[in-house]
Amino acid sequence: MGLLPEIYDVPMSDSLQTDITNDEQVSLPREYAWDFEKNDFLLKDGKFVIVEGIEALRVWTWKALHTPRFRYDIYDENYGHDIETLIGKNFSYELMEAEIKRFVTECLTRNEYITGITNFSMKKVNKRVSISFTEKTTFDDIDIKDITTDIPI
């Protein structure tokens, strides 16, 4: 007997393996609730509120699209957007829209529950870009409306 424990290959019954796989497939995303108007966590009786499923994805989407990638050490290199790299580019409006759509899609589909976006639209609001789209998820579609980006146009 050595210092380290020995590793034994213990066969699992198919029913147990199926239960584990099914549990992994039905796990729900969870996030702290977000007050989008106040741009702060939603608290109830002084405690953080946790949301699951579609509402958690809505929070995750909003936060990811308001977090530039690589800016904050707390997030890994796969979290956030690259939209700020477009600042100062002299692109036409059509090319800017195509690039922002690409960056948004790349940002969001890093989440295992988000499969893509459709109905993407972009408009100019107070010298900034506001985007709207439908987010395709493994649960249901989510309409995301009027997220203002940091891109001046």
Q: What is the pLDDT of residues 123-153, one digit of tens each?
A: 988 888 899 999 999 999 999 998 887 676 6
Q: Is the backbone of residue 93 left (phi > 0), alpha (psi -120 to 50) or beta?
A: alpha
pLDDT at 17 over 60: no
d(CA 29, CA 112) in angstroms, rounded, equals 9
Rounded to 10 deg, the angle between the 93-108 and 54-64 helix axes is 130
pLDDT band, residue 4 (cuts 50/70/90): very low
How far apart CA 33 and CA 71 sit, in angstroms, is: 23
Which carries the bigger pLDDT value, residue 23 or residue 62? 62
Mean pLDDT over 55-82 rounds to 91
DSSP 6: P
